[in-house]
Amino acid sequence: MSLIEKINRVFPQNSDIPTGLQQGIPFSQTGYLINGEIRQWEGPQHHVLSPVWVNIDGVPEPFPIGSYPLLTEKEALEALDAAVSAYDHGRGAWPTLSVAERIHHMERFVFRMLEQKERIVQLLMWEVGKSLKDSIKEFDRTICYIKDTMNALKDLDRISSRFAIEEGIIGQIRRAPMGVVLCMGPFNYPLNETLTTLIPALIMGNTVILKPPKHGALLYAPLLDVFCDVFPKGVINIIYGEGHSIIPPLMRSGSIHVLALIGNSSTANILKKLHPKPNRLRCVLGLEAKNPAIVLKDADLDLAVQECLLGCLSFNGQRCTALKILFVASAIQDEFLKRLVSAVNKLCFGMPWQEDVFITPVAEKGKTDYLQGLVADAIAKGAAVINEAGGTVNGSFFFPAVLYPVHERMRVYHEEQFGPVIPVLPFNDIKEPIEYMIHSVYGQQVSIFGKDPDQIAQLIDPLVNQVCRVNINSQCQRGPDIFPFTGRKDSAEGTLSVSDALRVFSIRTLVAAKQTQMNKDIITGIVRNHQSQFLATDFIL
């Protein structure tokens, strides 16, 4: 069968879908969580179509997998009221609970979340088209992240469980919550990236309103009960709906203290401006990126091709950290392209449940049209698709396209494609990729491929000031999660990592007293009698 024929037959018949994966699909979700209650919604629903289409009488059709509530401003403001009351100006039960007790709640949450693994993974796969293997990985990575977060908080608390005495002043310094946090995650890691802000926000004592992403909302249904049972009422509120109708009223209220958004900079900028007191708003943003790879002429080509392939096409290029433009030294461009094209066309493509599948349908509606538009623009301006069947579309499936040679007048040179299009540019002078990075509106990461320590060293020093991670002979990536994950320019605001996230969702605050006998007696009395959660020297073991 030719490649084009295989692409044309990429979608399964209903009967080809493993029965286990069809269980409970379609799934109509009506619950949402406000003030410790799972309320039932009887209004309009958003109907969810999977990126996985199904072949009906030879014609691929979108596959309905369920629906979720389209709440309104009213319910959004009820969620806000619940979060504001639970925080109660920092006097609520949750923000004043001891760190050890908050960790205890989180342990129960992990235990209950693990019980829902199979269902969450199944919904994740259906909703965003991520391979089953990678959906499982996303779940497991999230559990690890939560466990690491608990351990990092224990460490932080241990360090803070002591007094400092400086210039005759006794002080105890701890991190305290910020207030009400609005969390919104992206569709590409709807569980993991959302929880990498939600969990630290909660564990630091904030109260939270969570709006799951448009694609990747159903998978929160199995967690509603868990959140409801484990956390005190109002501490976590989960609302669903169109972002543009339910989020602006929250921001306009002025009652959101932290905006945690993994999404795009235009949304972030609009939302930030809606807050009536921007100085009271902290933002933790993970935004767009256009990470380049620079392949030097002495690069190990097998390694460079392998890493560029993973970097460009893991989860179909739908990662903020994906390599989105490849600069290749002219001296090796022919050999690099030959190997790249061959590797791309050997990739296994198909449905998410297939063993070893790598390329799957793209998640967003209209995405294949957008990608075709990018490719057509590049072709009109002198590039070619150099791999067989590159850019072939069947329904929501887009076969990866290697575009060469790309130049700055093409849209794909500037726009974040967030999909399986690989733009390649030859360069003669190393200044060319560096200039690209200087003028890019993004500044997340870069990958350099080469062997010469002198040349790599000369690149590291200018590039660390353009981006926030320089990867040597490997693709760009977020992990390991203990490493700082951030970006410059329009790529991020704030830094996330297991320990940094605890910091961004909290503020340092201290109790201080002159070292007089009276003050010493007061402090000793409070500590000895365990009268305060803050002024305490308890050591979490």
Using CB under 6 A as the binding rule, whether residue 477 contacts ligand G3H is answered as: yes
d(CA 476, CA 188): 16
Q: What is the dihedral of CA 437, 439, 441, 447, to 10 degrees?
A: 0
Of 194 and 392, which has the nearer Cβ to ligand G3H?
Answer: 194
Using CB under 6 A as the binding rule, whether residue 491 contacts ligand G3H is answered as: no
**Omega cis (within 30) before 480:** yes
Alpha helix stretches (DSSP H) within 420-496: 431-439, 453-463
Six token digits for residue 336: 């690099």
Provide the residue type at 323 as one letter: L
Of 265 and 477, which has the nearer Cβ to ligand G3H?
Answer: 477
Interface region with ligand G3H, contact rule CB under 6 A, candidates 147-155, 187-195, 277-285, 368-376: 187-195
Of 157 and 193, which has the nearer Cβ to ligand G3H?
Answer: 193
DSSP string, 476-521: ----STTS-B--EETTEES-BSHHHHHHHTEEEEEEEEE--HHHHH
Binding ligand G3H by CB under 6 A: which of 130, 214, 282, 319? 319
Binding ligand G3H by CB under 6 A: which of 50, 67, 316, 321? 321
Query: Considering the complex, what minimum distance in angstroms separates the CB of residue 403 from ligand G3H?
Result: 22
Of 392 and 445, which has the nearer Cβ to ligand G3H?
Answer: 445
b/e 521-530 (16+ beta carbons within 10 angstroms → b): eebeeebeee
Of 470 and 523, which has the nearer Cβ to ligand G3H?
Answer: 470
Query: Considering the complex, what minimum distance in angstroms separates the CB of residue 479 from ligand G3H?
Result: 5
Of 75 and 288, which has the nearer Cβ to ligand G3H?
Answer: 288
For residue 101, the Cα-to-chain-centroid distance in whole angstroms is 28
Query: Considering the complex, what minimum distance in angstroms separates the CB of residue 255 from ligand G3H?
Result: 28
Rounded (5°) CA angle 317-318-320: 100
Which backbone phi and psi does 489 adopt, to 5 degrees?
50, -130
Using CB under 6 A as the binding rule, whether residue 320 contacts ligand G3H is answered as: yes
Interface region with ligand G3H, contact rule CB under 6 A, candidates 12-20, 386-394, 422-430, 471-479: 471-479
Report helix, strand or coil for 289.
coil
Provide the residue type at 98 as one letter: S
Of 231 and 485, which has the nearer Cβ to ligand G3H?
Answer: 485
Using CB under 6 A as the binding rule, whether residue 444 contacts ligand G3H is answered as: no
Of 400 and 426, which has the nearer Cβ to ligand G3H?
Answer: 400
How many CA within 13 A on the CB side of residue 285? Answer: 25
Provide the residue type at 172 as one letter: Q
Query: Considering the complex, what minimum distance in angstroms separates the CB of residue 57 from ligand G3H?
Result: 37
d(CA 286, CA 496): 9
> For residues 193-212, which are near ligand G3H according to CB under 6 A?
193
Using CB under 6 A as the binding rule, whether residue 188 contacts ligand G3H is answered as: yes
Binding ligand G3H by CB under 6 A: which of 53, 68, 94, 189? 189
Using CB under 6 A as the binding rule, whether residue 397 contacts ligand G3H is answered as: no
Of 103 and 287, which has the nearer Cβ to ligand G3H?
Answer: 287
Strands 258-262 and 282-286 come out as parallel
Show Cβ contacts of residue 335 under 8 Å, excluding neighbours closer than 6 positions.
301
Binding ligand G3H by CB under 6 A: which of 479, 480, 484, 525? 479
d(CA 291, CA 311): 9
Of 263 and 350, which has the nearer Cβ to ligand G3H?
Answer: 263
Using CB under 6 A as the binding rule, whether residue 469 contacts ligand G3H is answered as: no
Query: Considering the complex, what minimum distance in angstroms separates the CB of residue 41 from ligand G3H?
Result: 30
d(CA 309, CA 303): 10
- Kindly write out the interface string for residues 268-307 of this chain, putting x where it contacts ligand G3H by CB under 6 A and - elsewhere: ----------------------------------------
Of 316 and 392, which has the nearer Cβ to ligand G3H?
Answer: 316
Tell the residue number behind the tokens 């979060």, with chain if given. Answer: 83
d(CA 31, CA 238): 9
* C-beta of residue 113 within 8 angstroms of C-beta of residue 145: no
Interface region with ligand G3H, contact rule CB under 6 A, candidates 90-98, 318-326, 375-383, 386-394: 318-326
Q: Tell me which residues touch ligand G3H (CB under 6 A).
A: 188-189, 193, 319-321, 477-479
